[in-house]
Structure 1
């Protein structure tokens, strides 16, 4: 499994527009075979940072998603919304390997 963490710098005056964008992508990623873990919007602290996390079963599945989204009409609508609203100033992607199962200290040999 691969998890993508996207760190956004957003326009603080356009958080509502960014939330619309995020809600669209949660639907789109899930529809296209991923598992979206949500968007995390500013509340306290920095007012221009937001994050999103989603997973795919493998890097190959993520690459298939990236290829498919390039020609998907709904994905293009979501991109256009972000572009037209100016809600996203910049972003970067980090690829991570999740650890999702816990174990007792005894089971871990601690």
Structure 2
């Protein structure tokens, strides 16, 4: 299993728009075989940092999701919404291997 960690720098005046963007992606990751662990919005501390975590069974499955998402109308609409609202300033993507009780 591979977990994608996304760290977003968002426009603090557009948190509502970014939250909407996140809600668009929750079912889309599942549509392509992943498990979304949620978006995490600023609360205390920095007002312009948000996070997202989602997992796929393998890095190959994640790459398939990425390829297919660029051909999917709903995914393209979500990308367009973020661009249109300019709620995301920048982001960085990292990958992790989760450790669970009794797992490998």
| TM-score for the superposition, normalised by structure 1 | 0.91
| Matched residue, 2:90 | 90
| Matched residue, 1:107 | none
| Matched residue, 2:39 | 39
Q: Across the two proteins, how many residue pairs are aligned to each other?
A: 103
User: Alpha carbons of 1:12 and 1:68: their partners in 2 closer, same or farther (altered >3 Å)?
Assistant: same
RMSD, aligned α-carbons:
1.1
Q: Larger Cα Rg: Structure 1 or Structure 2?
A: 1
| Matched residue, 1:7 | 7
Alpha-carbon distance in 2 for matches of 1:68, 1:37: 20
Q: How does 1:9-24 map to 2 (within 5 A)?
A: 9-24=9-24
Alpha-carbon distance, 1:31 to partner: 1.2
Structure 1 unaligned residues grouped into runs of 5+: 104-110
Structure 2 unaligned residues grouped into runs of 5+: none
| TM-score for the superposition, normalised by structure 2 | 0.96
SS of the residue 1:76 aligns to: helix
